[in-house]
A and B are shown apart, each in its own frame.
Chain A
Amino acid sequence: DAEITQSPRHKITETGRQVTLACHQTWNHNNMFWYRQDLGHGLRLIHYSYGVQDTNKGEVSDGYSVSRSNTEDLPLTLESAASSQTSVYFCASSPGGSSYEQYFGPGTRLTVT
Chain B
Amino acid sequence: AQSVTQLGSHVSVSEGALVLLRCNYSSSVPPYLFWYVQYPNQGLQLLLKYTSAATLVKGINGFEAEFKKSETSFHLTKPSAHMSDAAEYFCAVSADNQGGKLIFGQGTELSVKP
Contacts and interface: CB of A to CB of B under 8 A. Distances in A.
Which of B44, B90, B94, B104 is packed against the most chain A CB atoms within 10 Å?
A: B44
B46 A100 contact: no
B107 A42 contact: yes
Interface magnitude class on chain A: 20 to 34
A106 interface: yes
Nearest to A103: B46
Contacts, number: 48
A106 B42 contact: yes
A104 B45 contact: yes
Interface in A20-69: 31, 33, 40-43, 45, 48, 50, 58
A71 interface: no
A40 B109 CA distance: 11
Interface in B85-112: 90, 94, 96, 98-102, 104-107
Contacts of B98: 100
Interface of A: 31, 33, 40-43, 45, 48, 50, 58, 90, 92, 94, 96, 98, 100-107
